[in-house]
Amino acid sequence: MANFLQSVRQGFGRGGNNRNPPKSPSPGSSGPHTPQGGSISNSPSLSNSLAVDNLGANDPDGPKYFFQEKYAPLNVRGNFLTLCACPKNVELGEWLAHQIVEQYRLLHGMLQVIQETNAVTGVPICNETTCPTMSAGRLTYTWLVDGRAAKISAPKFINRVEKWIVSKIHDPVMFPTENVAGAPDTSAVKEVAVMAGAPPPSADANPAGTNGNPDDWIGKSSGFPQTFYKDCQGIMKQMFRCYAHLYHAHWLNPFWHINKHDILNMCFVHFVTVAKYYQLVTDKEMEPMQPLIDLFIKQQRIPPEALNGGHWAQQSST
């Protein structure tokens, strides 16, 4: 976890505003107080956190502390647009591939927190008993099993999502690593220049062609398939569902108890900025976390430039 946090700080350093994340309470010390209105004792470390099933932390009717401004800090300052916007000398398909890999790296670090085996109970915090479904409050996500939508436990759902994302990232067809023979030396600006005046691509559809040209698409010049943008949307949608579960089921335990809720917020703000800037996740999909997203928008943690498909709007105005 230390290496992960260090890499997060280094990654955000491009914005020029690094701040050290809060240190976890040492064994025997007191962690952060339980939010007002709760009845849960402090937990000094991940290894001896109280069992979630005794806390009701996955109660859909429980208080949503993470939707309140006083419980929604970030451990960094800066504009996440500096990590999101495609540099002028980088081809757009390559940049989106980089963003997908980076967002999965950050999410994986957060998921490891709930997947680590509890030294007292011998099971992870997120397990078959505490999280029998992949839920986000009253919303339950399903997984296709034998062609039918089925409710499965959160740990199984998350495990399948992670394996699926990794398989996509390592698929040489979707994420090609070899240079395309004869491909021109392009940049992100050159690629999207033909989009000028075109409407922003719908988050429900794949902008397979630019300006109605079916023979051109995002990432074509770098060897990405015609389905690349839609595949990116699918990956980001599943990652969002993991974040929604982390907040609704596990914000209090373990993230609040180990004083890592601000790092979770940082990762989520970064994710939403990318998702909105490139229209990779629909507003409807984001509804389970909308109050927190609205809070971060109000604080301009999610920069105004990222809203309503900021990348496409920027290119249309050039």
Q: How confident is the model at residue 252 (pLDDT cuts 50, 70, 90)?
A: very high
Give the range of the structural domain holding residue 274, as residue numbers without chain letter.
Answer: 71-124+178-316
Task: Judge contact between 293 and 306, C-beta under 8 A.
Answer: no
How far is 129 from 182, CA to CA, in rounded Å?
Answer: 55
Q: Band the pLDDT of 226: cuts 50, 70, 90.
A: very high
For 36-57, what is the mean pLDDT?
Answer: 37
Of 133-137, 220-224, 239-243, least confident by mean pLDDT is 220-224
pLDDT at 178: 66
pLDDT of 262 > 60? The answer is yes
Structural domains counted in the chain: 1
CA distance 296 to 67: 10
Query: Tokens standing for 292?
Result: 């927190």
Judged by average pLDDT, the poorest of 17-21, 169-173, 284-288 is: 17-21
Please give the structure tokens belonging to residue 238. Answer: 């599943």
More confident residue, 278 or 12: 278
| 269 located within any domain | yes
Q: pLDDT at position 49, please? A: 35
pLDDT one-digit tens code per residue, 167-209: 999 999 999 876 544 443 333 333 332 323 334 444 444 454 4
Residue at 311 is within a domain? yes
pLDDT in tens, 111-138: 999 999 888 889 999 999 999 999 999 9
- Split at pLDDT 50, 70, 90, the class of 155 is very high
**Is the model more confident about 40 or about 120?**
120
Instruction: Write down the pLDDT at residue 282.
Output: 95
Assigned domain for 199 exists:
yes
- The answer to whether residue 236 is domain-embedded is yes
Asked if residue 9 has pLDDT above 90, the reply is: no
What percent of the chain is modeled with pLDDT above 90?
54
- pLDDT category, 80, cuts 50, 70, 90? confident
How many angstroms separate the CA atoms of 189 and 318, rounded? 10
Specify the CATH number for the domain of residue 293. Answer: 1.20.140.30
**Of 141 and 315, the one with more pLDDT:** 141
Please state whether the predicted TM-score (pTM) of the whole model is above 0.85: no
DSSP 167-235: HHHT-TTTS--SPPTT-----HHHHHHTTTTSPPPPTTS---SBTTBTT--TTGGGT--TTHHHHHHHH
Question: Which has the closest alpha carbon to 128: 161, 100, 152?
Answer: 152
pLDDT over 70 (residue 54): no
Q: Is residue 296 part of a domain?
A: yes
Mean pLDDT across the stretch 146-170? Answer: 96
Q: Are 70 and 82 in contact (CB under 8 A)?
A: no
66 falls within a domain: no
**272 occurs within a structural domain:** yes
**Residue 217 is assigned to a structural domain of this protein:** yes
Over residues 144-162, mean pLDDT: 95
Average predicted confidence (pLDDT) for the chain: 76
Inform me whether the pLDDT recorded for 232 exceeds 80.
yes
Helix, strand, coil in percent for the chain, rounding step 5? 45, 5, 50
